[in-house]
Structure 1
Amino acid sequence: MTPSDPSPDGTGFSLGRRGGWPVVTVTGEVDFSNADVLGDRLAEATRWHTPPHLAVDLSELEFCDSSGLRRLVIAWKRIKDLGGRMVLLNPAPRMAGLLHITGLDTQLEILDALPDRPPPSP
């Protein structure tokens, strides 16, 4: 697992593996001051497989502003363009509401648990 140093408010970004999936776990708050770190972790995980597949664990994300949403959408589009799959895992209630209000819940794949198997490699 590749952790980031958590900020004083408990925000952190870690990258690890679960069941063959790269998983970026986001905790605390994402805003303009740290959205680039989220983007970096997502980009790093995207390079682990071809085509890329990625799970983003949002179960402990308490707040996310538009800059954080933008990083998620950029990663999703990049992965989709490369023939891969990105899933959002178990978003916390506030994040689930934000995804619904913005309509992203109709575009992004949101799951309660990690899929049993990652997509096959070519």
Structure 2
Amino acid sequence: MAVSGPRSTLKVASVARGDALVVRMQGDLDAVTAHLLREELRQVWESSRTSVLVIDVAEVMFCDSRGLSELISALQRGQAANVRLILTGVQGVLRRVLTITGLRNVFEQHPTVEEALAGASDAGPRQPRGPEMGGLYEIAGDR
């Protein structure tokens, strides 16, 4: 007997804001929908010359390991391309997931898109927390 429930949904849209690109998500970021974020970001990486990528997750209601994996991949790709990735609106389930996994301090975060854009224009590229620190794994190990 097959059991089924409501199907996950996610809306993803992006808009240029000056030198930054803002990607807004609404719904569940999970195994069923993670490909939508991956596809949106693929287009960003292929066509954009942005130095700042803001991912607004204020309306993300659920995030599982697959969704988290997509965010980590975006962070790693951004680091490799010298693109500053900022999460905004982190709350609820996603905040708990980032805290439990030890990734809460790995992602740069701001409460709102406007604050992220203002901070990005003031500060330039984010530097790792120490002269010897580099990518995602080194920063995560510095907890």
TM-score (norm 1): 0.80
Distance 1:73 1:9, change over 3 A: closer
Q: How does 1:1-122 map to 2 (within 5 A)?
A: 11-46=10-45, 47-49=47-49, 52-113=51-112, 114-116=116-118, 117=121, 119=124
Deviation at 1:20, TM superposition (A): 3.5
Deviation at 1:10, TM superposition (A): 5.4
User: For 1:49, what is the secondary structure of its paired residue?
Assistant: coil
**How far apart are the structure 2 equivalents of 1:9 and 1:83?**
33
* 2:78 partner amino acid: I
Deviation at 1:67, TM superposition (A): 0.7
User: For 1:91, what is the secondary structure of its paired residue?
Assistant: coil
Deviation at 1:18, TM superposition (A): 3.1
Q: Do the aligned partners of 2:13 and 2:24 also contact (CA within 8 Å) in 1?
A: yes
User: For 2:117, what is the secondary structure of its paired residue?
Assistant: coil
Which ranges of structure 1 fall in alignment gaps of 5 or more residues? 1-7
Percent of paired sites with the same residue? 28
**How far apart are the structure 2 equivalents of 1:34 and 1:96?**
19
Deviation at 1:66, TM superposition (A): 0.7
Q: 1:53-90, CA deviations, whole angstroms, 9 ceiling, x for partnerless residues?
A: 20000000000111111111111101101222100001
User: For 1:33, what is the secondary structure of its paired residue?
Assistant: coil
User: For 1:115, what is the secondary structure of its paired residue?
Assistant: helix
Task: Tell which structure's C-alpha radius of gyration is larger.
Answer: 2
Question: Match for residue 137 of structure 2?
Answer: none
Deviation at 1:93, TM superposition (A): 1.9
Q: Do the aligned partners of 2:58 and 2:91 also contact (CA within 8 Å) in 1?
A: yes
Q: Do the aligned partners of 1:27 and 1:58 also contact (CA within 8 Å) in 2?
A: yes
Count of aligned pairs between the two proteins: 112
TM-score (norm 2): 0.69
User: For 2:82, what is the secondary structure of its paired residue?
Assistant: coil
More helix by percentage: 2
